[in-house]
Amino acid sequence: MSNNDANEVLRMVLIGPPGAGKGTQAPNLVEKFHAAHLATGDMLRSQVAQGTELGKEAKKIMDKGGLVSDDIMVNMIKSELSSDKCKRGFILDGFPRTIPQAKLLDKMLEEQDKPLQKAVELKIDDELLVSRITGRLVHPASGRSYHKSFNPPKVEGKDDVTGEDLVQRSDDNAEALKKRLGSYHDQTEPIVNYYKEKGIWAGVDASQNPAKVWGDIIKCLGFNA
């Protein structure tokens, strides 16, 4: 991406462990680039709610407690790419989580002539994440996230935009987080090397304050903050 083409379409993956700040930074990227935030859970819920073929298939699997297949997820992303909201590009969040998923995604995006430009990793120590995540608050309808200490809402317990109540997710506790971090390190960290080899990886120190992290992400993408 270049500084002199502010209209350039954004195509990126946001990688990072739970609590690294993806939920804080993704809305900033959406606002700046008018790109779509494609988060795994949101896409699944949207397709199920719309009753699409993929949604019906995914619901059957999820109702049995199974994991939705990589093929279904990639086809959901493909389906989203054809919608108007992806005209200015996309920010993938929560997918891919494994190297086979990353390869499948690349194949589909290349067939669509929409290859990834950047894979930005938000890097942070596990110990810091535990203290961070136990103070996290989420606005369920939009996915906007806050933190009691690091990124508090303007009014305590209320979403800045809608004024609706914020909640603490049931899995935002130290024990659950350590399990999630274990699977993140095992499964997802290897895709960092995959994207490094492709030459599109960039790392950002996510332990800094959100404004500094945002500035570093913009620099990674080749823009001035």
Integer CA distances (angstroms), 140 to 40, 58, 166, 210, in order: 15, 21, 7, 20
pLDDT in tens, 55-104: 999 999 988 888 889 999 999 999 999 889 999 999 999 899 899 999 99
**Structural Rg of the chain based on CA atoms:** 17
Report residue 204 as tokens. Answer: 């950002």
Is the sign of the CA dihedral 156, 162, 165, 166 positive or negative? negative
Whether 97 sits among the annotated catalytic residues: the reply is: yes
Mean pLDDT (the chain) is 89
* Average confidence (pLDDT) over 27-44: 91
Query: Residue 205 is inside which H or E element, if any?
Result: strand 201-205
pLDDT for position 3: 41
Report residue 113 as tokens. Answer: 């002539």
- Scanning the structure block, which residue is given the tokens 């995914």? 58
Per the residue annotation, which of 103, 180, 196, 212 is the catalytic one?
180
Per the residue annotation, which of 22, 118, 132, 144 is the catalytic one?
22
pLDDT for position 223: 75
pLDDT in tens, 135-156: 889 999 988 888 888 789 999 9
Whether 22 sits among the annotated catalytic residues: the reply is: yes
Whether 107 sits among the annotated catalytic residues: the reply is: no
